[in-house]
Amino acid sequence: MTAASPPTTSHASSAGSGRRSGSALADELTTLAERTPELHPIRADLLELATALRSAEPDGGWADLDVVGIYARPESIGTSPGRSRSWRSALEEAPALLVFFPVLVTWLGLAAATVAYGRMLADPAGRELAEGRSFLQLWQEGFAGRLPSILNFGHVAMLALAVIGLLIVVTLGSVMVRRGDEARQARRATEVGSRLRSVLVRCQIELNRRRLASPARFAAELSQAAHLLGELLTRTSEAQRGTADLAQHNSHAAERLAVSIDSLREAVGTLDRTGAEVREATAVLQSATAVLRDDLTVRASAAAERLDSAGEQAAAQVRALQAGAQATLRDASARIDRALGDVADRIDASTSALRAAGDEYARTISDAARRASVEIGEFYGEAVATAAVSLAGRMAEIGAGLNDAVATVRASAERNAEAVRSVQDAYAGLTATMAEAAGASQRAAESTQMAAASTREVAASTLSAATATQATVIRLTSIRAAPTPRRSRPVTGIPVRRRRGRARAAESTSQESP
Q: State the helix-helix crossing angle for 153-213 and 5-35, rounded to 10 degrees.
A: 170
What's the confidence (pLDDT) of residue 6? 36
Helix pair angle (470-480, 215-352), 10° resolution: 20
Contact assessment for residue 465 and residue 477, using Cβ atoms and an 8 Å cutoff: no
Query: Residue 502, Cα to own-chain centre: how many angstroms?
Result: 48
Q: Is the pTM of this model over 0.75?
A: no
Q: Which residues of 379-412 are buried (b: 16+ CB within 10 A; e: fewer)?
A: beeebeebbeeeeeebeeebeebeeebeebbeeb
| Other residues' Cβ atoms within 10 Å of the Cβ of residue 210 | 22
Long-range CB contacts (within 8 A, 24+) of 182-187: 185/79, 185/80
Please state, in angstroms and rounded to a whole number, the distance separating the CA atoms of residues 273 and 15.
Answer: 94
Residue 199: its H or E element: helix 153-213
What is the distance of C-alpha 280 from the center of its chain? 51
Residue 80 has what DSSP assignment?
P
CB 468 within 8 A of CB 239: yes
CA 343, CA 106: separation in Å to the nearest integer? 148
C-alpha dihedral (80, 86, 87, 88), degrees to nearest 10: 40
Cα separation, 40 vs 75, in Å, equals 11
Decide: helix, strand or coil at residue 412.
helix
pLDDT tens by residue, the chain, 514 residues: 333 333 333 344 444 445 556 788 888 989 888 888 888 888 888 898 888 888 766 555 787 788 888 888 888 887 766 555 667 777 888 888 888 999 999 999 999 999 999 989 888 888 888 888 889 889 988 888 888 888 899 999 999 999 999 999 999 988 898 898 888 888 988 898 899 999 999 988 888 887 776 666 667 777 878 888 888 888 888 888 888 888 888 888 888 888 878 888 888 888 888 878 878 878 887 887 787 777 767 776 776 677 677 667 756 775 776 676 577 657 756 775 676 677 557 656 655 655 564 556 456 545 754 664 566 456 545 644 554 455 456 556 655 655 665 566 567 557 656 755 765 675 576 566 566 656 655 765 675 577 556 556 655 655 565 565 556 546 555 554 544 444 444 434 434 344 445 445 445 544 444 2
Q: Is the dihedral of CA 232, 233, 236, 241 positive or negative?
A: negative
**pLDDT tens, position by position, 298-326:** 776 776 677 677 667 756 775 776 676 57
Provide the pLDDT for residue 481. 55
Nearest to 345 by CA among 371, 313, 315: 371
Distance from C-alpha of 203 to C-alpha of 473, rounded to nearest angstrom: 53
- Long-range Cβ contact pairs of 254-262 (< 8 A, separation 24 or more): 254/458, 254/479, 256/454, 256/457, 257/451, 257/454, 257/455, 257/458, 257/479, 260/447, 260/450, 260/451, 260/454, 261/451, 261/484, 261/485
Q: Please, how many CA atoms are within 13 Å of residue 372, restricted to the half-sphere of its CB?
A: 18
Q: Are 188 and 80 in contact (CB under 8 A)?
A: yes
Q: Are 41 and 78 within 8 A, CB to CB?
A: yes
Q: What's the CA gap between 300 and 513, in Å, rounded?
A: 8
Task: Give the number of C-alpha atoms closer than 13 A to the C-alpha of residue 16, restricted to the C-beta side.
Answer: 5
Contacts of 472 (CB under 8 A, 6+ apart): 243, 246, 247, 250, 462, 465, 466
For 240-264, b/e burial (b = at least 16 CB within 10 A) is eeebeebbebbeebbeebeebbebb
Q: Residue 130 corresponds to which amino acid?
A: A
Confidence at residue 107, expressed as pLDDT on a 0 to 100 scale: 94
Q: Is the dihedral of CA 448, 450, 456, 459 positive or negative?
A: negative
> pLDDT value at position 160?
92
Q: Which pLDDT belongs to residue 486?
A: 44
pLDDT at 13: 43
Of 351, 481, 501, give the one whose Cα is nearest residue 423.
501
Q: ∠ at Cα 163 (158, 164), nearest 5°?
A: 95
Give residue 97's identity as a one-letter amino acid code. L
Select from 134, 143, 86 the least CA-distant residue to 115.
143
In the 8-state DSSP scheme, what is residue 152?
S
Do 420 and 507 touch, CB atoms closer than 8 A?
yes
